[in-house]
């Protein structure tokens, strides 16, 4: 049930508008944070899928380029 805003004083209306504005700012910040984490997780999942499809020679070539032990990484991805 909605309050009877018409009966509120200007001071109460101003205070409520300020409260709602602050709440909206907090929600926007939380949404940005969650969106960033979600985007990172999507990118990670997509890369895991692409990596899983690589042949052994492709994994070896990529390992040389980035200096990562993909044999160890492959086992972590499969276990995770």
CA–CA separation, 5 and 64 (whole Å): 67
CA–CA separation, 70 and 61 (whole Å): 10
Low-confidence ranges of the chain (pLDDT < 50): none
User: How far apart, in Å, are the Cα atoms of 22 and each of 8, 45, 75, 76?
Assistant: 20, 35, 47, 43
pLDDT, residue 40, reads 97
Residue matched to tokens 């907090």: 26
pLDDT, residue 65, reads 86
């Amino acid at each position: 049930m909605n309050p009877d805003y018409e009966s509120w004083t200007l001071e109460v209306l101003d205070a409520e508008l300020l409260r709602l504005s602050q709440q909206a700012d907090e929600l926007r910040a939380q949404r940005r944070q969650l969106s960033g984490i979600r985007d990172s997780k999507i990118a990670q999942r997509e890369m895991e899928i692409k990596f899983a499809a690589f042949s052994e020679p492709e994994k070896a070539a990529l390992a040389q380029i980035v200096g990562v032990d993909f044999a160890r990484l492959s086992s972590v991805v499969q276990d995770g």
